[in-house]
Amino acid sequence: MKRVDIIFGIIGLIISAYVFSMLDSFPEGQPGEVGADFFPYILAIGLGVSSLVLIVSSVFKKTSEDAEPFKFSDTGIQRVGIALASTVIYCLALDSLGFIVCTLVYLPLMMFLLKERKYFQMVLVSGAITATVFLIFSSFLNITLPLGTLYGY
């Protein structure tokens, strides 16, 4: 398990370094405003620090624990696979279907995968989150979210 942790820690550091190298190509923001590079910068720092912690903790770990074998038949692994595939489909469908439609479908699906079964509450929370995020981005941050090309926008 130590070797796997070190390998994934190194992969995380490589990804973090790549993101840092790409931040120079982002457009400069106005003085006193948050630029387009702010959020990726924060994520790259978080990934880099987390990767370093993973490497250091695995190097200094005294016990060697045997991990359970990886099984695709495990329901937790299947749910992770469904969540990953759903996220990829969500990202690919954003341009054609738009943020509102995609998010109103995606959020209840994720809640269902997390074993939420109060359907009315799922729909209500999904609608509230979608509306709140859309209003924050469009009104306060002046960032246009995709509305979908299928609807002529």
Mean pLDDT over the full length of the chain: 84
Predicted confidence (pLDDT) per residue in 55-89, tens digit: 999 888 776 566 667 677 777 788 888 889 988 99
Mean pLDDT, range 46-60, rounded to an integer: 92
DSSP string, 69-97: PP-TTSHHHHHHHHHHHHHHHHHHHHHHH
Give the Cβ contact number of residue 37 at 10 Å: 19
